[in-house]
Amino acid sequence: MRKIYIFDTTLRDGEQSPGVNLNTQEKVEIALQLERLAVDRIEAGFPAASPGDLAAVNAVARAVKNSTIIGLSRSREQDIDAAWEALKDAEDPCLHLFLASSPIHRKYKLRMEKHQVLETAEAAIKYASRYFSKIEFSPEDAGRTELDFLCEVTEMAIRAGATVVNIPDTVGYLTPSEFGNIFKTLKQQVPGIEKIQLSAHCHDDLGMATANALAAVLNGADQIEGTINGIGERAGNTALEEVAMALETRQDFFQAKTGLVLSEIARTSRLVSKLTGMVVPGNKAIVGANAFAHESGIHQDGMLKEKTTYEIISPETIGLKESKLVLGKHSGRHAFREKLVDLGYELNEEGVNAAFAKFKDLADKKKEVTDEDIRALLEEKIVSTPEMFALETIQVSYGNQSVPTATVRIRTLDGQTLDEVAIGNGSVDAIYKAIDKVTKEEVELDDYSIKSVSHGKDALGEVHVVLKQNGLSMKGRGISTDILEASAKAYIHAVNRLIDKRSNQTANRNNVSLI
């Protein structure tokens, strides 16, 4: 069975999704989960993009031991130098170089002729070879590049020292037959092609990213690039969980499979969704909430008689488990501990006690606490951002014939408690204006969204906000059975992160001035 290597670019291409802004700690947390998933190669970021991105890539490089860590780089010496600075501490570093090759990019973006593209890329690969023993080269927009020139570019990359050549369908333009033909042609016509691995990087602009990736596998691709949940630029990238499960489920057809620990797929999907704030659609293949849900009576009848009548994948395969244990406010610590084990959480005694206290508090507010509720409590992110402000109490007065009024009590980092009251156009607006009075921060609410973590009228609500301030943009999130409380928590979380980000930038500028 041929192995297909998995190149995960959630931390680079995935983070380029509009509205996504991961801090260093969040990048490391996702990278460590990708390592548990057994991803072969992790693209941690674009080190030359900013000092913050360089530092984040370096943190990932130092934390991950069992996956190749990759940094993206333009075909420029300064980019390559920055990538090496970020990756030099990695157990297994790799550089991902790129340069556009299609006629439209050559003419309008690069303003280069074909020979200039070849010369620039070759020089960059040779320069990178001073630092890196593993180099991947990508002719950007390969999908719209003349096939004969693409063969020429690939031959040059092999000769210059690349170990992987990636073929990106950068704008999601190709059909599966067209994309597959590129790999077939390269395999047949490029001298020395057996010395390297061929990789496929597809975008989903026309909804064919997974199909194109699988067509590449059928025609000789050794590696598939993509993201968890398919996030990324515009319509996103190939969803790696879809490729992995397609190869696993249809081994008879593809005669290839990945080395992923499939039971970690669901947990990885949830983590990426929570930290990016990008909700997974209910009907999303493999990891959507409805992927293993059956409502039709006919389907239910078939499932009760034989699961394979309507399920080609077992939910247990990707790490989902059904439980018959219903938890509520009368449940004891023993039952709660068994539920944690069943859900895959291994906590020490202190962790169990803290989780049990949260559970009991929630159980007093809800008739039934579901598995999703418990996961939300345990996976609610407690980031290292200093809590300059923390919500103590909130009170809202509202009626359809009265002006919404909110009173908040907020605890500061030095232990003071501050009370403020404000009116607004609605309850949430009043809360946010009261918080603004306490924090004295002038911010703009750029985005606000609510989703239900579980089901029912008493479901946990998860609020995501995005705040802007002087060019900075930061997201915040909060969870509660009361959406107004969740809204306040999310807003304060974002304010704290903005203050922390601003402080770090000031410190960086001071350090630069000292140098």
Answer yes or no: do 104 and 244 share one domain. yes
- Residue 511 falls inside a structural domain: no
- Res 475: pLDDT: 86
Residue 288 has pLDDT above 90, yes or no: no
DSSP letter, residue 91: S
By CB atoms closer than 10 A (0-12, 13-18, 19+), residue 130 is exposed
Whether 108 maps to a domain, the answer reads: yes
Which of 151-160, 307-316, 362-371 is modeled with the greatest confidence? 151-160
How far CA 416 is from CA of 388, 410, 491, in Å, comes to: 11, 8, 19
- Flag whether 282 is in a domain: no
Query: Residue 175 is encoded by which pair of tokens?
Result: 């059909």
pLDDT at 300 > cutoff 60: no
What is the length of the chain?
A: 515
Q: Give the rounded percent of residues in the chain with a pLDDT score beyond 90.
A: 70
Report yes or no on 514 lying in a domain.
no
pLDDT value of position 509? 59
Spatial contact of 47 and 82, defined as CB atoms under 8 Å apart: yes
CB 4 within 8 A of CB 246: no
pLDDT of 382: 43
Banded model confidence at residue 287, pLDDT cuts 50, 70, 90:
very high
How many C-beta atoms surround the C-beta of residue 293 within 10 A?
Answer: 11
User: What does the pLDDT look like over 269-279, one tens digit per residue?
Assistant: 999 999 999 99
CA distance 476 to 277: 9
In this structure, what CATH number is given to the domain that contains residue 447? 3.30.160.270
- Express each pLDDT in 449-469 by its tens digit: 998 876 666 677 889 899 999
Binning pLDDT at 50, 70 and 90, where does residue 149 land? very high
Q: What is the 3-state secondary structure (H, E, C) of 205-272?
A: CCCCHHHHHHHHHHCCCCEEEEEHHHCCCCCCECEHHHHHHHHHHCHHHHCEECCCCHHHHHHHHHHH
Distance (Å, whole) CA 383 – CA 375: 17
Does 227 share its domain with 269? yes
Residue type, 198: L
Most confident stretch, 163-167, 413-417, 455-459? 163-167
Closest CA to 407 of 434, 425, 427: 434
Query: How many of the other CB atoms lie within 10 Å of CB of 174?
Result: 22
DSSP 286-325: TTSTTTT---SHHHHHHHHH-GGGT-SS-GGGGT------
* pLDDT at residue 303, as a whole number: 59
Same domain, 260 and 300: no
CA distances from 151 to 117, 156, 203 (A): 13, 9, 21
d(CA 339, CA 462): 22
Q: What is the mean pLDDT of the chain?
A: 89
Residue 73 confidence (pLDDT) above 80: yes
Q: Are residues 246 and 354 in the same domain?
A: no
Residue 49 DSSP class: G
Q: Could you tell me if residue 304 is inside a domain?
A: yes
**Host domain of residue 301:** 292-320
CATH number at residue 217: 3.20.20.70
pLDDT at 381: 47
Q: What is the CA radius of gyration of the chain?
A: 25
Q: What is the pTM of this model?
A: 0.73
Question: What would the mean pLDDT of 75-80 be, rounded to a whole number?
Answer: 98
How many domains does the chain divide into? 4
Given this model, what pLDDT does residue 347 score?
79
pLDDT at res. 263:
96
Q: Are residues 127 and 221 in the same domain?
A: yes
509: tokens are 């500028």
In a domain, 513, yes or no: no
Quick one: pLDDT band at residue 361, thresholds 50, 70, 90? confident
Same domain, yes or no: 30 and 69: yes
Confidence of residue 343 (pLDDT cuts 50, 70, 90): confident
Neighbours of 167 (CB within 10 A): 25
Q: Check whether 38 has a pLDDT greater than 80.
A: yes
And the tokens for 153?
């570019």
Give the Cα separation of 419 and 434 in Å (integer). Answer: 9
pLDDT value at position 360?
Answer: 77
Of 348, 379, 410, which closes a domain? 379
Position 301 scores a pLDDT of 61
Phi, psi at residue 430, to the nearest 5°?
A: -65, -40
Q: What are the angstrom distances between the C-alpha of 414 and each of 385, 386, 423, 442, 460?
A: 15, 11, 27, 21, 31
Q: Is residue 128 part of a domain?
A: yes
In this structure, the answer to whether residues 328 and 477 fall within a common structural domain is no
Give the pLDDT band (50/70/90) at residue 44. Answer: very high
The predicted model gives 183-189 an average pLDDT of 98
Report pLDDT for 378. 74
**Higher-confidence position of 298 and 252:** 252
Are residue 206 and residue 247 in the same domain, yes or no? yes
Between 416 and 401, the more confident residue is 416
| Backbone φ and ψ of 464, nearest 5° | -115, 135
> Between 274 and 289, whose confidence is greater?
274
Coil, strand or helix: which one is 444? strand
Domain boundary among 379, 410, 427: 379
Rounded Cα distance between 461 and 481, Å, is: 6
Q: Please give the pLDDT value at position 204.
A: 98
* Least confidently predicted of 198-212, 213-227, 449-463, 499-513: 499-513
Mark whether 113 and 222 lie in a shared domain. yes
Cβ neighbour number for residue 195 with a 10 Å cutoff? 10
Task: Report the sign of the C-alpha dihedral through residues 154, 156, 162, 168, in that order.
Answer: negative
Residues 430, 373, single domain; the answer is no
Please check whether residues 88 and 170 belong to one and the same domain. yes
HEC per residue, 132-198? CCCEEEEEECHHHCCHHHHHHHHHHHHHHCCCEEEEEECCCCCCHHHHHHHHHHHHHHCCCHHHCEE
pLDDT interval class at 182 (50, 70, 90) = very high
Which of these, 237, 245, 210, 196, lies nearest to 94 by C-alpha position?
Answer: 196
Are residue 369 and residue 456 in the same domain, yes or no? Answer: no
Assigned domain for 286 exists: no
pLDDT in tens, 470-512: 888 888 888 888 899 999 999 999 999 899 888 877 666 555 4
Residue recorded with tokens 């939910």: 315
